[in-house]
Chains A and B, each alone.
Chain A
Amino acid sequence: MIAPALFAVFAAIAVVSALSVILQRNPVTSALFLVVTFCSLAGIYLVLHAEFIGMVQVIVYAGAIMVLFLFVIMYLNLGRDIETGLQIALRRGVGWLMGFALLAAGVALFRHPWAAGPPAPPGPPVGNTQAIGLLLYSRYLFPFEVTSMLLLVAMVGVVVIARGRRAPGPAADLPPGAATGAEPRGDA
């Protein structure tokens, strides 16, 4: 009885705050509403007994990614977008298109609801942290490792971009070996 009520509360908060994200003029307020959306999604995960995913949702999205978003918005002091009429028209067109596609998908799903999944296997319930760990390191080992490679590529890319900006400085005159030795490592 409590679970559906909690789901309704979290779902309502998620929908309202997700709408606010796109309806707010101030980018900082939008970002904050996105944080609220993520937190209520975490609440929904908790209602579904997916505690691990719920907490990771808060740690990764609300705690890390959105802080960086906010950091960048504040640092660049973003105001309203300055765009030409063509860009706005293009964006609106794509927006309407995507909106209709999503609406069609939603309607289709309501017409033909999902079949229920197979029932949980019998036996003592394994904590879902453990279950996710076992799956990640057995059945999904390859995608898991590929993802880590992807993150590594992104990190190396950031380092390259950060160092590339410094190249026209005084260090550019030095031979390549001396330049890499003299400069601080750009891994921050």
Chain B
Amino acid sequence: MAAILDNPDLRFAFWALVKCVVILTAMLGVVSYLIYVERKVAGHMQARTGPNRVGPLGLLQPVADILKLFFKEEFIPDAANKIIFHLAPVLAVIPALVSFSVVPVGPNFTVTDINVGLLLFLAMSSLGVYAITLGGWSSNNKYALLGGLRSSAQMISYELALGLSTVGVLLIAGSLSLVDIVRAQEHVWFAVYQPVAFVIFMIAAFAETNRAPFDLPEAEAELVAGFHTEYSSMKWGMFFLGEFMNVITISSIAITLFLGGWNGPWLPDSLKFLWFFLKLGVLLFFFIWVRWTYPRLRYDQLMNLGWKVLLPVALANILVTGTVIHWLGNR
């Protein structure tokens, strides 16, 4: 028995499992209240109060929403491709959760610190396309299909800008491990050295998560509800869950790459994770703020922005960063 407990592999697996459970529960809790916050903020921005009936200040609204989702009747179109129709919502949730496993929350809390953490994030964000594309296709509905096609075009286009904007950070930090990148920002945030990359990353992040002003895959004014037109009950809820989890994950990556991760003054190492959560809160509010402030882009404007503005600027940023680092290194 003692031999089993001392086995390093098993201990590692056990602790990784515990951390996964903690993160999964925390994510679900945060997402349900993020929806509440989004509705509240939206309400106040439009001079309304937002949800305030269920519980004090409407704080039990998420519970009511989730119960409602579970008890709603589920409708599946007759001509839908059943297996893929069921698979798509699952695929919407998994990539966001997997990429959160490499996010360093605090000095002592990372599920795993692998030496290609950033690449894992990029890989998972590139797999995120499948959920929306397949959801749209399998519904056998023209609006859903158009939403799915738009999403695949949009996400492929913005993935390039997203990936290239992180190269500047890599050049400075010299590592693909997110923990190393955070440690390299102990004194100065990379957003200071890489302001252009930070802006590109954030714009591409909005496009990757299909949030307004880049929410063309759903575009309710022209595509009914876009890729999830035919989804109902908890399957629809899973798409929503996936979208919000993606927002949380990509904000965490933005904090890790550009805003210093857990680094901040005053707090001891064991409490540094509070800085991370503070920054996360600010960025999440930023996502909501933008959604209720900016109108949606037209499709050709979206493509032009991605290919003709963000991509060349990101490439130029890499060139300048590389030149400066070489010059500083040779001095």
Q: Which residues of A contact B (CB under 8 A)?
A: 2, 26, 28-29, 32, 35, 51-52, 54-56, 58-59, 62-64, 67-68, 70-71, 74-75, 127, 129, 185, 187-188
Contact = CB atoms under 8 A, between A and B. Distances in A.
B307 interface: yes
A153 B187 CA distance: 44
B45 to A, nearest CB: 34
Contacts of B119: 51-52, 55-56, 59
Contacts of B114: 51
Given A51-B114, A58-B126, A67-B152, A129 B176 contact: yes
B126 A59 contact: yes
B9 to A, nearest CB: 6
Q: Can you list the 3 inter-chain pairs with the closest CB atoms, starting with the nearest?
A: A63-B126, A55-B119, A58-B123
Contacts of A70: 130, 133-134, 137, 152
A7 B93 CA distance: 26
Contact of B145 (A52, A67, A74): A74
Given A28-B81, A67-B152, A67-B156, A35 B130 contact: yes
B183 to A, nearest CB: 16
Interface size class of B (residues with CB under 8 A): 20 to 34
B249 to A, nearest CB: 16
A70 B149 CA distance: 10
B24 interface: no
B238 interface: no
Contacts of B176: 127, 129
B115 interface: yes
A32 B148 CA distance: 16
B88 to A, nearest CB: 11
Nearest to A187: B307
Contact of B129 (A58, A67, A185): A67
Contacts of B9: 2
Interface in B103-150: 114-116, 119-120, 122-123, 126-127, 129-130, 133-134, 137, 145, 148-149
Nearest to B122: A59
B303 interface: yes
A35 B126 CA distance: 12
A142 B77 CA distance: 55
Contacts of B159: 63-64
B148 A74 contact: yes
Contacts of A2: 9
A63 B129 contact: yes
Contacts of B303: 188
B127 A58 contact: yes
Q: A52, A59, A62 — which one has the most chain B CB atoms within 10 A of its CB?
A: A59
B186 to A, nearest CB: 21
B153 interface: yes
B116 A62 contact: no
Given A32-B84, A74-B137, A129 B127 contact: no
Contacts of B307: 187-188
B156 A74 contact: no
Contact of B133 (A29, A74, A185, A188): A74
A115 B203 CA distance: 51
Interface in B137-193: 137, 145, 148-149, 152-153, 155-156, 159, 163, 176
17 contacts: A2-B9, A52-B116, A55-B116, A58-B123, A59-B123, A59-B163, A63-B126, A63-B127, A63-B129, A68-B156, A71-B133, A71-B149, A74-B133, A74-B149, A127-B176, A188-B303, A188-B307
Contacts of A185: 308
Nearest to A39: B127
A58 B155 CA distance: 16
A127 B130 contact: no
A68 B153 CA distance: 9
B171 to A, nearest CB: 12
A29 B82 CA distance: 12
Interface string B278-316: 000000000000000000000000011001100000000
A63 B152 contact: no
A32 B137 CA distance: 13
Given A58-B126, A64-B126, A74-B133, A51 B156 contact: no
Contact of A67 (B84, B130, B304): B130
Given A58-B127, A67-B133, A188-B307, A129 B153 contact: no
